[in-house]
A = this chain, B = another copy of it.
Amino acid sequence: MSPRLELSRLSLNQITIDQCSLPEAIEACGRAGLTVIGPWRHKVAEVGVEPAARMIREAGLRVSSLCRGGFFPAADAPGRRAADEDNRRAVEEAATLGTDVLVLVCGPPIGRDVEAARAQILGGIERLVPHAEEQGVRLAIEPLHPMMISERSAIVTLGEANDLAERFDDTRVGVVVDAYHVWWDPRLYEEIARAGRRILGYHVADWLVPTTDRLQGRGMMGTGVIDLKRIRAAVEEAGYDGPIEVEVINRDAWERSVDDIVAEACEAFLAAS
């Protein structure tokens, strides 16, 4: 069993309180005594990258990662170029925001060819790495649950993310372990150990039974069936001791009081992560 968690390791992934703008999320973190945040790009864009970076800094917050680059597969060359350009901007935004981790949600296949998508993802990462290196940003491939393959990511297992990451220097490309996305995998613990120092982020949420919304139906830690304490122990055993992002994507929560959600997140983080 890993040591008891401290709130200082909690990073509030902004989508947990998606009803907030970035300034509102920063304030909510402040009221709750949180010191780390995981912003999303579309929220950053609403205020501008430089102002966002300043607000975060002035509030005394750190950024654990920027969500997200990726979405590499495209139907044609102009589509690929647009994805490349967007990813280069994402790298620069991460650097401006003061984080060295850009999360990659790699994008769904175009049509039926999953292998072609995987090849395009590899190509996209290869083209992005030099710019990321220049900017001092590491790329963190996040495998998503296989039920999200057609909307979000052709990369659906940690093994596959490790295979991809291992094609690059381990100071440049790594993985995000999100318990919600990988907990079902019979190879989970060996792949966490294999990832080792390539683990650039650890995310938590819980799997509700039943899961009534396939994309936005996650539970707070402790309300579902994921063995979060065991997974955290494995991630820490593999060498990761950075922030843990609470990323509870739940449509119902977005209708509720932000301070209530943040308070629940803190309590669930300490008790059940």
Tell me whether A4 is interfacial, beta carbon within 8 Å: no
Is the C-beta of A63 less than 8 angstroms from some C-beta in chain B?
A: no
Indicate if A210 sits at the interface (CB-CB under 8 A): yes
Closest CB of chain B to A191's CB: distance in Å? Answer: 12
CB contacts (< 8 Å) of A114 on chain B: these are 183-184, 186, 227
Neighbour of A147 across the interface among B111, B113, B185, B214, CB < 8 A: B214
For A210, the chain B residues whose CB sits under 8 A away are 150-151
B214 touches A150 (CB 8 A): no
Number of copies of this protein chain within its complex: 2
Give every chain B residue within 8 A of A226 (Cβ-Cβ).
Answer: 112
Chain B CB within 8 A of A273 CB? no
Which listed residue, B118, B145, B209, touches A146 by the CB 8 Å rule? B145
Contact A186 B150 (CB under 8 A): no
- Max chain B Cβ within 10 angstroms of own Cβ: one of A109, A160, A211: A211
Min CB distance A108 to B, Å, is: 8
Q: How far is the CA of A187 from the CA of B111 in the complex (A)?
A: 19
Contact of A159 among B186, B207, B225, B227 (CB under 8 A): B186
Does residue A149 face the partner (Cβ distance < 8 Å to B)? yes
Q: Whole-angstrom distance between the alpha carbons of A46 and B37 in the complex?
A: 57
Q: 5 interchain pairs (CB within 8 A)? A: A112-B226, A112-B227, A114-B183, A118-B186, A163-B186
Task: Give the 7 A-B residue pairs with the shortest CB-CB distance, closest first.
Answer: A147-B147, A146-B184, A112-B227, A150-B209, A160-B186, A149-B184, A146-B146
